Amino acid sequence: MNCRLISILFFVLISVGICSAQSTLFKMDDDGHWQKATTTHRLAEFPKIHQDGRVWFRFKAPSTAQSVKIHMGSDEVDMQKDEKGLWNIVMSNLKPGYQVYWMMVDGTEIEDPGSDIFYSNGYRSVLEVPASDEANYSAKKVPHGDVREHWFYSEVTGEFRRMFVYTPPGYDKDCTTRYPVLYLQHGAGELEMEWTHSGKANFILDNLIAEGKARPMIIVMNNGFATRPGQVVQPQVMGSRWAAFEDMLIKEVIPDIDKNYRTIPDREHRAMAGLSMGGMQTFTIGLKNLDTFSHLGIFSGVPTNYNELIKDALDQGAAFNQRVKLLWFGCGTDETAFHDRQIALQDLLTKSGIKAQYFVSKGTNHEFQTWRRCLHEFAPLLFIN
């Protein structure tokens, strides 16, 4: 047998071995240390999380499916079929906190019916991965506030609109106490409910208030997309999608909240903050309306044209500090563009004598784990003097 023939036979044997390994059915024994994720549907068994941090996904695809993958973050990983025809994968070292994912069945996106569905650029499956700081946003045995669904008619946009309103523990028991208000905005990928659904804002405040670290306050969460009747939206121009938001917020939302809730209706007790697009809205609207807001929080939201938007404040220099009680910025270390802009802005403001506070979330990107941490750090600084 010549060397060429030996080489061909060797290659065939190796190839058969590889194909055989790839076609091996998935096998996994439940050792008793797996538990359903907190975001796993009550009637579902998977996803499960092991005490060592591994996550087990199982998915029932059509019997004709040839390929099933799981898409999480920027990764897409093959799942493996078991003897029952179910597709499985066990993943390690997932990022902590709120993770968005979906399945790819022969190239088609399908949500996982085993997990909760939240809104993130469309309704998506979500997984809550245990995190070292999850106690900050977990539901605890402490007094809890309420999250109310509040509707109003906007003359500015010509439609009925909804806001979510957090009222602190005890709000309905003492009808004489009045509260400061934080207007808290979502990002371009979310809607008005995601600060409580994904961000756990209500639990963050419940816990901070119970610990005596934050002042009881009302939080108002609005849909940040607002246009005038007949306005043509340019999808590629983000600002066009919320062109009417400032007028609606200042002329309609704030008066409506002051009328229907026991607020302290002055600028000293009114704050605005937001994540990503909501942070950019805070940066633009908040700085233009310092007769309305005295506390501003920008989470991953320093816009590209910050030099232009901050010009008036820079011209005032240290005098600006007399108007704003709190100017606060936060972002994650891994969201490079926002992190770099925050550092550059910090240098600019410091040189101009403008006081601000800055926070960086280690190891997080443009994601809710960053923004949960931002709110947890920001809220205790509100309305303290």
Q: Are 119 and 187 found together in one domain?
A: no
Q: Are 231 and 244 found together in one domain?
A: yes
Q: Are 166 and 108 found together in one domain?
A: no
> Per the domain annotation, does 21 fall within a domain?
no
Q: What residues in the chain have per-residue pLDDT under 70? A: 1-24, 236-238
Question: What per-residue confidence (pLDDT) applies to 4?
Answer: 46
> Per the domain annotation, does 119 fall within a domain?
yes
Q: Are 67 and 142 found together in one domain?
A: no
Final residue of a domain: which of 130, 149, 180? 130
Q: Are 192 and 95 found together in one domain?
A: no
Which domain, by its residues, includes 163? 135-381
Q: Are 365 and 278 found together in one domain?
A: yes
Q: Are 113 and 149 found together in one domain?
A: no
Question: What per-residue confidence (pLDDT) applies to 25?
Answer: 78
Angle at CA 192, nearest 5°, toward 37 and 210?
A: 65
> Per the domain annotation, does 18 fall within a domain?
no
In this structure, what CATH number is given to the domain that contains residue 224? 3.40.50.1820
Final residue of a domain: which of 63, 97, 130? 130
Q: Are 44 and 111 found together in one domain?
A: yes
Q: In 3-state terms, what secondary structure has residue 216? A: coil
Burial class (CB in 10 A: 0-12, 13-18, 19+), 136: middle
> Per the domain annotation, does 154 fall within a domain?
yes
Final residue of a domain: which of 87, 115, 130? 130
Residue 2 Rama label (left phi>0; alpha psi -120 to 50; beta): beta
Q: In 3-state terms, what secondary structure has residue 225? A: coil
In tens, the pLDDT along 33-56 reads 999 999 999 999 999 999 999 999
Question: What per-residue confidence (pLDDT) applies to 196?
Answer: 97
Q: Are 260 and 363 found together in one domain?
A: yes
Question: What per-residue confidence (pLDDT) applies to 12?
Answer: 37
Question: What per-residue confidence (pLDDT) applies to 233?
Answer: 78
Q: Do 123 and 88 contact (CB within 8 A), yes or no?
A: no
**Type of residue numbered 80:** Q
> Per the domain annotation, does 59 fall within a domain?
yes
Q: Do 276 and 301 contact (CB within 8 A), yes or no?
A: yes
Residue 164: name the closest of 118, 197, 187, 208 by CA.
197
Between the CA atoms of 99, 104, 108 and 109, what dihedral angle is there, to the nearest 10 degrees? -10
Q: Are 374 and 341 found together in one domain?
A: yes
Question: What per-residue confidence (pLDDT) applies to 57?
Answer: 97
In tens, the pLDDT along 190-213 reads 999 999 999 999 999 999 999 999
Q: Phi and psi of 336, rounded to 5°?
A: -55, -50
> Per the domain annotation, does 17 fall within a domain?
no
Written as six digits, the tokens of 29 are 């024994």
> Per the domain annotation, does 1 fall within a domain?
no
Q: Are 72 and 216 found together in one domain?
A: no
Q: Are 180 and 264 found together in one domain?
A: yes
Taking every pair of Cα atoms in the chain, the longest distance, rounded to a whole number of angstroms, is 98
How many domains is the chain built from?
Answer: 2
In this structure, what CATH number is given to the domain that contains residue 90? 2.60.40.10
Per the prediction, the chain carries an average pLDDT of 91
> Per the domain annotation, does 16 fall within a domain?
no
